[in-house]
Amino acid sequence: MDINTIGVVGAGQMGNGIAHVMALAGYDVLLNDISQDALDAAVGRIDKNLERQVSREKISAEAKAEAMARINTTLKLPDLGTTDLVIEAATEREEIKHQIFDTLKPHLGPDTILTSNTSSISITRLASRTDHPERFMGFHFMNPVPMMKLVELIRGIATDEPTYQTCLNIVERLGKTAASAEDFPAFIVNRILIPMINEACYTLYEGVGNVASIDNAMKLGANHPMGPLELADFIGLDTCLAIMNVLHDGLADTKYRPCPLLTKYVEAGWLGRKTKRGFYDYRGDVPVPTR
C-alpha cells in the first residue's frame, strides 16, 4: 500500500516524537489532540528537537525546515480520516482508545490502515471494534522516539499480510529496526522491562536497598544506562502500573502482581518526571531520591 499521509492521535511525549520522525522521513503528518495548548507545545518541542539534530550535524537546516512544513495540527479527530495511515498514541487506557477508533470509524477511507502505539493492550481486542480488523495492527515506538531504533510490530489475529508489510516498509524508511511480536500482554520489550521495574519497586518496598543504591547497583553492576527506578520516573509510574495490571489481568500469574509501593506513588500523583516527583524529586536543580 502506498502511504503518503499519516495521522497521529495524541500530541504528548510519544505522539510528538512519532510526528517528528514521520515528517523527517518525508511523510505529511496531521497531528491531533483535544487541547490546542498540547498541539502548540508539541510543535514547539518538535522544532527544538529538530534544531538539536541540526546543531549536532545529524540533519541539515533545510531538512528541518522541510520536516516542519510537513506537520499540520487539528483539534478535530475526524479530520484524520483522510490520511493513509493513523497511529493512535493516546493515553494507555483501553476505553479511551476504543472511543477514538469509534469516532474515526465513519470518516475513514476504504484503504486506511489503523494502528495503535499501545505498549501492552491486546491488538486483537482493539481491532475487533473496528470495521476492518484486517487493516489494524500494533505500531509500538520506543521512547524517546527520535533516538530509539526499535519499533515493535504486533499483528492481531485478523491482521493481513499487506498491512504488516506496509508498516514494515515504513519502519525501514524511518531507518529503524522492526521486531515482530505476537499479540500477548505487553508484547516483548515491556513483558521483560516492566516486571524488572516492578521488582525494583519490591526491592525498595521491602527495604533491601534505597532508591540510590538500587539504581547504582543496576547501572554499575549490570551496565544499565539508567537505573530501574530512574527509568520508571522517565516512563511514568502510572504507565508502569497500567502495564503491570495488563500483565496481571491478562496472564493471571501472581508474579505480575503490581508492587503496593508503586500503586501508592500513583495514588499520590507522584508519577515521575512529568509531575516533578516520583522515586526522585525533580523540583530542584538536581534530582533527589524520595526514599
The yes-or-no verdict on residue 120 having pLDDT over 90 is no
Which among 16, 49, 190, 198 is annotated as catalytic? 190
Looking at the structure, tell me whether residues 154 and 219 fall in a common domain: no
The reply, when asked if residue 138 is annotated as ligand binding, is: no
Active site residue 122: no
Looking at the structure, tell me whether residues 251 and 282 fall in a common domain: yes
Q: How far is 32 from 10, CA to CA, in rounded Å?
A: 6
Q: What is the mean pLDDT of residues 151-176?
A: 97
Which among 16, 32, 117, 140 is annotated as catalytic? 140
Q: Which of 182, 207, 242 is the last residue of a domain?
A: 182
Active site residue 190: yes
| CA-to-CA separations, 192 to 38, 153, 196, 238, in angstroms, rounded | 31, 16, 7, 18
Percent with pLDDT over 70 in the chain: 100
Q: Name the residue among 282, 267, 268, 284 with its Cα closest to residue 211.
A: 282
Q: How confident is the model at residue 92 (pLDDT cuts 50, 70, 90)?
A: confident
What is the domain count for the chain?
2
Looking at the structure, tell me whether residues 153 and 259 fall in a common domain: no
Active site residue 134: no
Which among 119, 120, 122, 198 is annotated as catalytic? 119
The reply, when asked if residue 221 is annotated as ligand binding, is: no
What's residue 83's pLDDT?
97
Q: What is the mean pLDDT of residues 101-113?
A: 95
Q: Looking at the whole model, is its pTM more than 0.85?
A: yes
Which domain, by its residues, includes 222?
A: 191-289
Looking at the structure, tell me whether residues 172 and 205 fall in a common domain: no
What's residue 203's pLDDT?
98
The reply, when asked if residue 226 is annotated as ligand binding, is: no
Contacts of 223 (CB under 8 A, 6+ apart): none
Active site residue 169: no
Task: Give the tens place of pLDDT for each residue, 214-260.
Answer: 999 999 999 999 999 999 999 999 999 999 999 999 999 999 999 99
Q: Which of 135, 161, 182 is the last residue of a domain?
A: 182
Looking at the structure, tell me whether residues 229 and 174 fall in a common domain: no
The whole-chain average pLDDT of the chain stands at 96
* CATH number of the CATH domain containing 260: 1.10.1040.10
The yes-or-no verdict on residue 1 having pLDDT over 90 is no
The yes-or-no verdict on residue 261 having pLDDT over 80 is yes
Which is it for the CA torsion 272, 275, 277, 281, positive or negative? positive
Looking at the structure, tell me whether residues 41 and 147 fall in a common domain: yes
What's residue 91's pLDDT?
87
Cell numbers for 152, please give them.
Answer: 515493535
Q: Which of 127, 161, 182 is the last residue of a domain?
A: 182
Looking at the structure, tell me whether residues 42 and 152 fall in a common domain: yes
* CATH number of the CATH domain containing 119: 3.40.50.720
